[in-house]
Amino acid sequence: MTTAGQMYFRVGDKFRNVFWCDRLSCGPTREGSSARPVAAFSVIGPQIQIKALFAAFASNVRIDMEAHSIPLTLPKGDVIDHAVTKLQAMEAGYRLWRYKLPQKQAQLVAIVKDPGMIVAMDDESLWVKLTERYTTPMIRAWAPIIQAELEDRKLLRRLANFQCNCGVIGADEEAMDKLVSDLVTAKRLTIN
Structure confidence by residue, pLDDT tens digits, 56-107: 888 877 888 999 888 888 887 777 777 778 898 888 999 999 999 999 999 9
| Angle, helices 123-133/143-152, rounded to nearest 10 degrees | 80
Q: How confident is the model at residue 14, as a pLDDT?
A: 62
Q: How confident is the model at residue 3, as a pLDDT?
A: 73
Q: Which amino acid, 27?
A: G
Question: Which residue from 146, 57, 38, 68 is spatially nearest to 98, judged by alpha carbons?
Answer: 57
Structure confidence by residue, pLDDT tens digits, 118-172: 999 888 999 999 999 999 989 999 999 999 999 999 999 999 999 999 999 999 9
Q: How confident is the model at residue 94, as a pLDDT?
A: 94
CA dist., res. 96 & res. 58, Å (int):
8
Using CA atoms, how far residue 15 sits from 10, 63, 67, 121, 174, in Å, is 4, 10, 12, 32, 44
What residue segments make up the domains of the chain, in order of their start? 5-112, 117-185
Q: What pTM did the predictor assign?
A: 0.87
